[in-house]
Amino acid sequence: MFAAPEFKTTSIERRRRAPCSGVTLVELMIAVGLSALAATALLILSVSTGRSLAEMVNYVDLDHYNRVALDSLTRELRQVRDINSFSVNSMTFTDKDGAPLSYVYLPAQRTLNRVKDGQSKPLLEQCDQLQFAIYQRTPIANSFDLITASKLPDCKVVTITWSCSRMIFGHKANTEQGQTAKIVIRNKNEL
């Protein structure tokens, strides 16, 4: 027998579209907004970290120069023979070699200068305030304070108090507060 041919419809289904790989405008705006927010946070973090690091390095450097100045003052003042003149901003001594030795604070320049043999050398820079005071060795009863020397021959202790600061990023950021030293004059000539 004879068989009837079979006709098959190959497809009546619609072809499916390939999935879209594009980004909508709303998704793009959200991505740009989140990226801008993350970049801003990163920028703020890096600026504040950089500022803190600069302040710490500056503070350590300022402290180092204050210590060097204090060591130099202490070493020299312990060995002077006599005090020749005194004011709140300057002092003159007879050094161990018999030559005059002066320390002069210049508020306008913010420096403490050491003057010896006619040569002035900055000992402390960027100094906002500095004061000298003179005392006897005798303490005030029931206290650690010393009696203020009213005459230069009575001076056996010199007190120096100062504070320094530096500018960082256009404003005063680091300040060394409370630098105070009481220095006993050891080689003072006795009358």
Q: What is the pLDDT of residues 13-69, one digit of tens each?
A: 666 666 666 778 898 999 999 999 999 999 999 999 988 888 888 888 888 888 898
Q: Among 24, 77, 84, 59, which Cα is nearest to 165's?
A: 59
- Tokens at residue 30, please? 């959200």
- Tokens at residue 59, please? 């503070």
59 Cβ neighbours under 8 A, 6+ residues apart: 174
Each domain of the chain, given as residue ranges in start order, spans 26-184
pLDDT at 184 exceeding the cut of 50: yes
What is the spatial distance between Cα 111 and Cα 119, in angstroms, rounded to a whole number? 15
pTM above 0.95, yes or no: no
Residue 66 near residue 176, CB atoms below 8 Å: yes
- Tokens at residue 185, please? 């004059």
pLDDT in tens, 74-116: 999 999 998 999 999 999 999 989 899 999 999 999 999 999 9
pLDDT in tens, 149-165: 888 888 899 999 998 88
Q: Among 119, 121, 128, 118, which Cα is nearest to 72's?
A: 121
